[in-house]
Chains A and B, each alone.
Chain A
Amino acid sequence: MAAREFSIYMCGVGGQGLVLLSNAIGSACARAGIRALTGEQHGLSQRSGSINIHMRIGDGVRSPLIPIGGASVLLALEALEALRYVEYLRDGGIVLMNTRIQHPVGETAAHIKDKKARYFSVADVKDRLSKVTDKISAIDALDIARSVGNPLTENIVMLGALSTIEDFWIPEGALIEAIKESVPKKAVDVNLKAFKLGQGAAHSDLCNVVKCRE
């Protein structure tokens, strides 16, 4: 395998700002002189569709798509989506997921026919994922994003959490500069706050199971 490769499989639901998130990481890499490439998804699924972005960092890879079992991190902005793409996570890889669930319309439609039906839950997702790895961290990114005053900053909360992982070696300064350049000017402050709070949330959860930066 190539010298130093770090692949992040990102997923979520259309409208959660996944493209902005991968762009911010890519710009940070460009700033820091680190090679990065992505396989993105645009078109057709606008809001509320299942979205995935393959992000690969390092010198040795050419394919924008991560092979099955090849992701160092499965970063899910929505909990159900973490399970949907579980085959991409390498054994013992890291799951960093949002506790938010957006119930698919088909699941809700089925609920009106069965009074006992319960929605697929975060606990269900965690339970299933634990068969693949013990490095699972779930963060209430929506709650944090609301607390900074903008629920749309969920993606940056998750980026903050991601940035604490030691093996993700993109310098924090480059990430912060990239956030500043990626988000609208008037939203810079709330996004930087979201980033910091995401780091804080990771320190009290993710960093118990994964080696984090000092």
Chain B
Amino acid sequence: MGILDLTKDGPSKVFMLCNEAIVRGAVEADVKVIAAYPGSPTSEILDSFSSIATHFDCRMEISSNEKVALETCAGASMAGMRSITSMKSVGLNVASDSFFSLSYTGVKGGMVMVVADDPQAHSSQTEQDGRPYASNAYVPMLSPSDPDEAYRMTKAAFAMSEKYGVPVLLHTSTRVNHQSGMVQTGRLTRTPFRKLNWDHPPGRFVTIADSARKFKAEMLERTKRMEGDFETSEFNLVTDTDSDMGVVASGAGYNYAFDAIDILGIRPALLKLGTTYPMPKKLIADFVSDLSTLVVVEELSPYLETHITAIAKDANPKLKIFGKASGHLSESLEYNPNIVAVAFAKILGLKLPVDYEKITRRAKELKRGLPDRWPTFCSGCPHRATLHALRQAMKGRKHVLATDIGCYSMSFLPPVEYGDSLLSMGACMGVAAGLQYAINEKVIAMIGDSTFYHAGLPGLVNAIHHGDDITLIILDNEVTAMTGQQPNPGSDTTAGQKPAKPMVLENVLNGFGVDDLTVVDPYDIEDATARMKEALSRKGPNVIISRRACALYSDRNKRRRGESIIHSAVDKDSCKMPYACVREFNCPAIYIDDDSRKTRISEELCDGCGVCGRICPFGSIHQANGGGN
């Protein structure tokens, strides 16, 4: 899978990541405007679009946040162009203000929003279920289970959006987005990009008071029409059997239910729901009418289960419904085939062919003493150096650290375990404001550059305006690192390597009235520590910028330029084992030789940042000059 599979004419059968399949679907649907902010598990949608942005006649941007992205698509689609945005479910929280209004005003050109849940909170602050947003806002929603279906639904969603004049939400989850599989691609017929003439009467997209009430009535009528159409949608699949047991499943839950059925060798009637808002009530009523037992398999909240229970009250009052309310399936964590098989077996009183509990118990026993491998900062990561400098600067002084969303969030994990609060994008400044009202200790806020531009600006404005006693540390690593080093407003490029005007952080801060600004290079760790200590001893509000490019991003650029990475090495003779390079530094390239107890540096893993050498009190670490360890 690569650029070729996204740009080559079909039909052909391709092994694709679901996120790439969504892009393929949108490209085949002749999408013209693409705007998104990265967020796992959707980031590869933006990355894939970015990789082909110059191949097709379209307009693409990496927006400063999800709300701006959604509004950018809204503007283009109001005018009549097809547009797409993608975000994680917590990203829709940011975009939700305009999302609700947009459902009122509607759009003209097809607009698709990919919204991905993250059950298990693999890379999110919560396990938020994005689906209630659709029903709350009267926005149609499709939920695919695999890459091929996601591809087909994306294409269909554009037509659907234009038919009903409303954006369509494509609801996914981590195990759908990050699933690769076979996709049957179609023809690639692109039309040239042409600007349109605005052909709407004044006030067409204005929703307030009277017009809002008018839009609401239309919206309800629109939803009724859609529900009627969804009764016969190709995305709802019924597999009838003579069993009096039935299963309704959707999204990733369908995959697990399918395999659990296979594991147990049972043959229930199966309804795969693809149109998850508005729900096809008649189809569901017909499906449950002859059953005695129904199991609903969906991850997170009982969104389908609650609606289906209500439908069954009239359609089949005697139906026994199992799922979350019955306690057989959980509202938290992601599912898998064995979790669903265990639930089915319990409900039906069947014996499992595999003793999962026994396997899990045995594995736990076998893993006793196996060291954990927590997510950690990459070798060469400037955050490691900044955090080390910060802790040295604050040594012996009580303080509280309000942190934010980004790679630096990992500082709270073992073995570092540093940081006191983390809520959402940009929240560090607001939380810090409250803390400085409430506590005696020094209050520090920490945020990355991309998150700062995304949602940190209002918090800083607030703190400056009120003269809050906070020191804000901005970790400026040039990119949105955690999601794959995408450009951000501080970069001189945007999607597809197209040039963009970089924000100059100092100018932004000066403009806001930050009078006390310190800029450090974390690689120059003695200087960074000393100057951070000074800044942190002054009354806030003040700001420290710790500036150094993301190590992975920097490595990629070095490789592009043909520069090699010169790793560091430990001089065995002068190493007196003070372990300064290990203690509070925790670089994955550094380890201790089991016999000599001296530290060593892995040649393969070292990034050559040289910070450990600056920390070593005996100067035992230096650049390797061919000699190595």
Contact = CB atoms under 8 A, between A and B. Distances in A.
Task: Give the contact-size bracket for chain B.
Answer: 35 or more
Nearest to A115: B597
Given A60-B262, A69-B359, A42 B43 contact: yes
Interface centre among A41, A70, A112, A132 (most CB of B within 10 A): A112
Contacts of A120: 369-371
Contacts of A35: 181-182
Interface stretch (A99-107, A159-167, A196-204, A205-213): A99-107
Contacts of A111: 582, 592
B310 interface: no
Interface in B337-381: 337-338, 341, 354, 356, 359-360, 362-363, 366-367, 369-376, 378-379
B15 A39 contact: no
A22 B360 CA distance: 26
A37 B1 CA distance: 13
Given A119-B594, A120-B369, A48 B376 contact: yes
A46 to B, nearest CB: 5
Nearest to B485: A46
B180 A1 contact: no
Contact of B122 (A44, A69, A109): A44
Given A38-B181, A87-B363, A43 B122 contact: yes
A64 interface: yes
Given A23-B180, A86-B366, A131-B362, A41 B122 contact: yes
A58 B296 CA distance: 27
Max chain B Cβ within 10 angstroms of own Cβ: one of A2, A15, A48: A48
A70 B621 CA distance: 47
- Among B254, B259, B362, B484, find the residue whose CB has the most chain A CB atoms closer than 10 A: B259
Contacts of B591: 103, 108, 119
Contact of A62 (B43, B254, B370, B375): B254
A163 to B, nearest CB: 17
Contact of B588 (A27, A36, A48, A86): A48
B258 interface: yes
A106 B592 contact: no
A13 B588 CA distance: 11
B336 A46 contact: no
B450 interface: no
B373 A13 contact: yes
A126 B175 CA distance: 31
Contacts of A108: 582, 586, 590-592
A129 B481 CA distance: 37
A128 to B, nearest CB: 5
Given A43-B43, A44-B40, A131-B366, A104 B181 contact: no
* Secondary structure of the A contact surface, majority rule: loop
A46 B552 contact: yes
Contacts of B379: 47-48
B237 interface: no
A65 B415 contact: no
A62 B356 contact: no
Name, among B407, B552, B588, B597, the residue most crowded by chain A CB atoms within 10 Å (CB to CB): B588
B313 interface: no
Given A37-B180, A63-B337, A29 B15 contact: yes
Most buried by B among A40, A63, A110: A63
A49 B604 contact: no
B256 A80 contact: no
Contacts of B407: 46
Interface in B415-443: 415
A37 B145 CA distance: 12
B565 to A, nearest CB: 12
B459 to A, nearest CB: 24
B14 interface: yes
Given A36-B15, A44-B40, A67-B338, A105 B356 contact: no
B178 interface: yes
Nearest to A44: B123
Given A30-B182, A112-B583, A131-B362, A86 B367 contact: yes
B225 interface: no
Nearest to B370: A83
B609 to A, nearest CB: 13
Interface in B254-301: 254-256, 258-259, 262-263
B44 interface: yes
A52 B414 CA distance: 20
Contact of A104 (B146, B363, B374): B374
Contacts of A86: 363, 366-367
A43 B359 contact: no
A132 to B, nearest CB: 7
Contacts of A27: 1, 15
Nearest to B39: A43
Nearest to B588: A48
B337 A42 contact: no
A103 B373 CA distance: 9
B605 interface: yes
Given A1-B262, A49-B376, A84-B367, A64 B122 contact: no
Contact of B255 (A15, A42, A62, A119): A62
Contacts of A39: 175, 178-179
Contact of B582 (A43, A49, A60, A112): A112
A170 to B, nearest CB: 12
A132 B366 contact: yes
Interface of A: 1-2, 13, 15, 22-23, 26-27, 29-30, 33, 35-50, 60-70, 80-81, 83-84, 86-87, 102-112, 115, 118-120, 128-129, 131-132, 142, 151, 181
25 contacts: A15-B605, A29-B15, A36-B180, A37-B180, A42-B43, A43-B482, A44-B40, A44-B122, A47-B552, A48-B376, A48-B378, A49-B376, A60-B262, A67-B263, A67-B336, A67-B354, A80-B373, A84-B373, A86-B366, A104-B371, A104-B588, A105-B376, A105-B586, A106-B371, A131-B362
Given A65-B256, A108-B592, 11 more contacts: A13-B373, A39-B178, A48-B376, A63-B258, A68-B336, A81-B373, A102-B588, A103-B588, A105-B588, A106-B415, A108-B582
Q: Across the A-B interface, give the 4 residue pairs with the lowest CB-CB distance, nearest first.
A: A43-B40, A87-B363, A107-B371, A26-B15
